[in-house]
Amino acid sequence: MQHRKITFIGAGNMARAIIAGLVAGGYPATLISVCAPSSKNRDALATDYGIISSANNIACAQEADVVVLAVKPQMMADVCKPLQEQIDLSGKLVLSIAAGILVSRFYQMLGEPLNIVRIMPNTPSLVGKGMSGLYAPPQVSQADRDYTRDLMSSVGKVCWVADENGINGVIAAAGSAPAYFFLFMDAMQQEAERMGFSHQAARELVQQAAIGAAALAAANPEIPLSTLREQVTSKGGTTAEALRVFNEQQLPATVAKAMQAAVSRAQEMEKLF
């Protein structure tokens, strides 16, 4: 992939996940900088990955070819104002990983024309297993689309959405989704501990079952997930009983409601920030 000078404004969980994945994938650390007001997170990134750490958003953005906006949505307006006032962003590629901030809002905050792509990544990018949704308005060049695709492909898989609304679907199905699985795994670990396993053994049992199930699904894309589930479920056996309880408790409907709640929140945020 092409290696452009890239700066991350924001040094939090998601910036770390992407930076770690990029450096592990061979993106030159000397081309990556990270900015945040306090030194703790950004200096830890500099120490861990050999990248440049700075408190100066403007200087880093000025130097960079690519500016990644990686702050919380509620901070975005404050971060964009000085960028708009002090920097010529034309000729740069701006990437936003924020949930709930539309391209049209970035035009207001950073001015037009603006070369911007929205990315909806997730934290497994940290270990090269990310899933990112990408949206680019029509005027973004093929070279910038290719760069963004290659950037996020180096930390996982990517999927383009044709309409910006699709980003909210990506949030529900992938961006927020690691947290759903962690909730489920944590509940399983706690019950395994109550059954008498040590903390560590319970974690390993649950974690390996999750890794195994995900790997099995990934290795058999042509087999529906429902069939993979049936292959575990012996008639009159133990799995059938566990699944009966999940269904009685309306797990599928609960999952659907939870995903819709994530979309609704993203839509609310589009009006708030």
Ligand X SMILES: O=C(O)[C@@H]1CCC=N1
Annotation: binding site for NADP(+): 9-14, 70-73
What's CA 187's distance to the chain center, in Å?
23
Q: Is 226 a binder of ligand NDP (CB under 6 A)?
A: no
Q: Which is nearer to ligand NDP, 121 or 202 (CB)?
A: 121
Instruction: Tell me which stretch binds ligand NDP (CB under 6 A): 118-126, 140-148, 198-206, 212-220.
Output: 118-126
The residues that bridge with 67 in the sheet, in sequence order, are 7, 94
Q: Which is nearer to ligand X, 79 or 89 (CB)?
A: 79
Q: Is 176 a binder of ligand X (CB under 6 A)?
A: yes
Between vectors from CA 167 to CA 257 and to CA 115, what angle results, nearest 5°?
Answer: 160
**Residue 45 site contact among ligand X, ligand NDP, none (CB < 5 to 8 Å, cut-off depends on kind):** none
In whole angstroms, give the CA distance from residue 261 to residue 176.
11
Among 98, 134, 262, 266, binds ligand NDP (CB under 6 A): 98
In whole angstroms, give the CA distance from residue 145 to residue 83.
22
Site size with ligand X, rule: CB under 6 A: 4
In whole angstroms, give the CA distance from residue 14 to residue 252.
28
Contact predicate 79/19, CB 8 Å: no
Buried b (16+ CB within 10 A) or exposed e, 71-83: bebeebeebbeeb
Contact predicate 62/229, CB 8 Å: no
Q: Is 96 a binder of ligand X (CB under 6 A)?
A: no
Q: Which is nearer to ligand X, 71 or 171 (CB)?
A: 171
Instruction: Tell me which stretch binds ligand X (CB under 6 A): 23-31, 144-152, 169-177, 186-194.
Output: 169-177
In whole angstroms, give the CA distance from residue 246 to residue 138.
44
Instruction: Tell me which stretch binds ligand NDP (CB under 6 A): 60-68, 94-102, 197-205, 223-231.
Output: 94-102
Residue 10: how many CB atoms within 10 A of its CB?
Answer: 25
3-state secondary structure of 273: coil
Q: Is 58 a binder of ligand NDP (CB under 6 A)?
A: no
CB of 39 to ligand NDP, least distance (A): 8
Residue 219: how many CB atoms within 10 A of its CB?
Answer: 8
Instruction: Tell me which stretch binds ligand NDP (CB under 6 A): 3-11, 105-113, 186-194, 195-203.
Output: 3-11
Q: Binding residues for ligand NDP, per CB under 6 A?
A: 9-15, 35-38, 41, 57, 70-73, 75, 78-79, 97-99, 120-123, 175
